[in-house]
Amino acid sequence: MTSSITTKELAQKVVNHEKTLILDVRNTDEFDNWKIEGGNVEVINEPYFNLLDGIDPVSGKLDKGQEVIVVCAKGGSSQMVAELLEEEGGFTKVLNLEGGMKAWSEHLEPVKIGDLKDGGGLYQFVRLGKGCLSYMVESDGEAAIIDTNRMIDIYESFAKEKGIQIKHLIDTHLHADHISGGRALAEKVGGTYHLPPKDATEVTYDYTALEEGNDIVVGNTKVKVQPIYSPGHTIGSTSLIIDDQYLLTGDILFVKSIGRPDLVGKAEDWVGDLRNSLYKRYKELSEDLIVLPAHYSFAEELGKGGSVSARLGDLYQRNEGLQVDDEDVFRKMVTENLPPQPNAYQEIRETNMGKITPEDEKQREMETGPNRCAVHG
């Protein structure tokens, strides 16, 4: 029986930049759309049906002296290919990824970002298979979670391990590329769910308004979560300043790109808001704030230990989306230079509004594939 590797074990390799060799046996179109990526990850794609008669198609491509991790959609086909490689012999080690890309899409890897001034800490949960980033602020036995993913058990068990109570669940905007777990987790733990009111005009549930001037306090140490209205990706997009050190930008600003304004069909209407948020509102903030976005798009954005962050002042020097002086050129860039829209984004928005409640399996399906919330210059 071939040995297997869990998503947790693979995630550790990726975030620690260990040399990793993956044989992905999904169909080429699925592979081209979405694959495992990392700074030191090499991925070879050979569809499963090409290997049914033997491993000749990949024998010259795989380094037998290196551990090979075989991946498919759900872990079944890859198990069979892994066994074929084992039978061939000569490989140092062959491992099958348990649960395949389906499981990889749902794995969250917690990374500590730093300590807060009056005690407590800030953690980033990296969803390596989707590029989503969520956050937990903890102080004096209390926690707030920002941009919670659908897999809420992971946050619960993390909080339980640390002996802290989740009090606040905050979404920086109404998400269109993944299903928020904020409301579900708030109901489960008896916490408060916060959402920007301008993004909540069609929601079917009660929420607490996330608005500028309404600080959210976590713990007795008065860790201020200070909302800043920063529209552009959505009309309600709101950033958070935590502990005067960290700027959580949601989907407005990323490390290597900027937010796209078109997921509600309002690109032409919102491009001015996006420019104002990036070129005026953020410019008024301290350059020393550490930017923590809600997504990342490229493996090279993963820093030490797997975290994704950058100093605001540095981004004004090197992020191309922040260096377009001409407003017309900027408008053209964010309305024309756009990647495909996220998978099932309309259904995801409706789910996040509470208008539809798809079965768990359907929700997984809706989220399959990469995030596509950015505009790349």
Nearest-angstrom CA–CA distance, 95 and 285: 48
Q: What's the gap between Cα 281 and its chain centre?
A: 24
Token code pair at residue 144? 């707030």
Nearest-angstrom CA–CA distance, 142 and 172: 20
**If DSSP codes are grouped into helix, strand and coil, which group holds residue 185?**
helix
Nearest-angstrom CA–CA distance, 175 and 196: 11
* Cβ pair 99, 71 in contact under 8 A: no
Query: In degrees, to the nearest 5, what angle opens at C-alpha 67 toward C-alphas 62 and 70?
Result: 70
Q: Which of 68, 72, 289, 324 is catalytic?
A: 72
By the 10 Å C-beta count (0-12 exposed, 13-18 middle, 19+ buried), 298 is classed as: middle
Cα dihedral 106, 110, 113, 117 sign: positive
Neighbouring C-alpha atoms within 13 Å toward the C-beta of 139: 22
Which residues is 124 bridged to in the sheet?
111, 135
Q: List, in sequence order, the alpha helices (H) in the chain.
A: 7-15, 28-33, 56-59, 76-88, 100-106, 152-162, 182-189, 267-276, 312-318, 327-336, 345-353, 360-367
Nearest C-alpha neighbor of 195 from the set 229, 170, 166, 230: 170
The conformation of residue 328, written as its DSSP 8-state character, comes to H
Q: Does the annotation mark 72 as catalytic?
A: yes
**If DSSP codes are grouped into helix, strand and coil, which group holds residue 170?**
strand
- Residues labelled as active-site residues: 72
